[in-house]
């Protein structure tokens, strides 16, 4: 699946794709828990509204610069130790 194909999907289909994707990290912003997932060669942020108890939106991207808020949570040791 490509980033473009994901963006063309409706929200229900996007949620189904994210359900099976690897969860990488999570951060919090106000009333939102923002969960980061990786699908093929791109990333998806799921914005979950804790107050309303529902998914608010998805943000998908391939620009690794947008991973900056998560860098302190991502363990890269396996990449450097050959594991």
Residues 37-59: b if buried by 16+ CB within 10 A, e if exposed = bebeebbbbbebeeeeeeeeebe
Q: Tell me how many domains the chain contains.
A: 1
pTM, two decimal places: 0.84
Note the pLDDT tens digit of each residue in 23-76.
999 999 999 999 999 999 999 999 999 999 999 999 999 999 999 999 887 666
CATH at 19: 3.30.67
Domain that holds residue 74: 3-80
């Amino acid at each position: 699946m490509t980033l473009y194909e994901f963006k063309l999907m409706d929200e229900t289909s996007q949620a189904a794709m994210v359900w099976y994707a690897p969860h990488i990290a999570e951060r919090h912003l106000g009333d939102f828990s923002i969960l980061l997932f990786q699908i093929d060669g791109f990333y998806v942020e799921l914005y979950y509204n804790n107050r309303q108890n529902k998914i608010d939106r998805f943000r998908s991207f391939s620009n690794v610069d947008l991973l900056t808020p998560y860098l302190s949570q991502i363990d890269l040791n396996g990449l450097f130790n050959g594991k």
